[in-house]
């Protein structure tokens, strides 16, 4: 009598691979002939440099620096008040209602910390949103340049070791980005 055993997952995967293997070379051959018909034209963009030099990137940097300074000044002023209040409270350690005042101060301190965290998060969200707008606009600009120049592949310079200078479209991307998005609001 012949007994069947259950196939393990590995054995089933091997069986599936053996069935598919004869199909792979023909699929690869078809794919190779399809891609051989597409001419290769490459463009290189220094994305970080374009964003940094763009008028939108520079306006974002100015806004971010100004908001950081403002937030820091507000936080330091409030911190200075809280330190003075804490020093005055510590001078009254022997007062009968010291524990109540200290508890109120701790609540005030916790609220200040929470406010500082909220300001920081709001800053990060606003900055990230503005940055995203710049990158999305740059991506569209690069797509338009690729269509105009009939490029089939555009790479970020950060992933390219060596390339021909003629392939670099960073200056065109910067000029176009400055036209399309002269500034962003944070």
pLDDT at 43: 96
Token pair recorded at residue 63:
């806004």
pLDDT at 23: 39
pLDDT at 7: 39
Q: State the pTM of this model.
A: 0.71
Helix (H, G, I), strand (E, B) or coil at 93: coil
Residue boundaries of the structural domains of the chain: 40-180
What's the CATH architecture for 40-180? 2-Layer Sandwich (3.30)
What is the Cα–Cα distance from 53 to 49, expressed in whole angstroms?
6
Query: Per-residue confidence of the chain (186 residues) as pLDDT tens digits?
Result: 444 344 344 444 444 434 433 434 444 455 556 666 788 899 999 999 999 999 999 999 999 999 999 999 999 999 999 999 999 999 988 888 999 999 999 999 999 999 999 999 999 999 999 999 999 999 999 999 999 999 999 999 999 999 999 999 999 999 999 999 999 999
pLDDT at 35: 60
Q: Which of 132, 123, 131 is nearest to 59 (CA)?
A: 131
What is the Cα–Cα distance from 55 to 51, expressed in whole angstroms?
8
The alpha-carbon radius of gyration of the chain (Å, integer) is 31
pLDDT at 30: 55
Placement of tokens 């500034």 in the chain:
183
């Amino acid at each position: 009598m012949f007994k069947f055993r259950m196939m393990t997952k590995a054995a089933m995967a091997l069986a599936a691979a053996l069935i598919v293997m004869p199909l792979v070379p023909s699929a690869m051959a078809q794919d190779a002939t399809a891609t051989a018909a597409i001419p290769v034209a490459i463009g290189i963009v220094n994305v970080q440099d374009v964003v940094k030099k763009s008028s939108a990137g520079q306006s974002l940097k100015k806004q971010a620096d100004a908001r950081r300074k403002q937030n820091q000044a507000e936080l330091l002023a409030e911190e200075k008040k809280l330190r003075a209040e804490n020093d005055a409270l510590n001078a009254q350690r022997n007062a009968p209602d010291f524990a109540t005042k200290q508890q109120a101060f701790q609540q005030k301190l916790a609220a200040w910390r929470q406010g500082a965290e909220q300001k920081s998060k709001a800053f990060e969200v606003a900055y990230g949103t503005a940055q995203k707008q710049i990158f999305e606009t740059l991506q569209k600009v690069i797509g338009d340049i690729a269509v105009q120049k009939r490029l089939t592949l555009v790479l970020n310079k950060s992933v390219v070791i060596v390339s021909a200078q003629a392939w670099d479209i960073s200056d065109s991307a910067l000029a176009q980005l400055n036209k399309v998005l002269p500034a962003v609001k944070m």
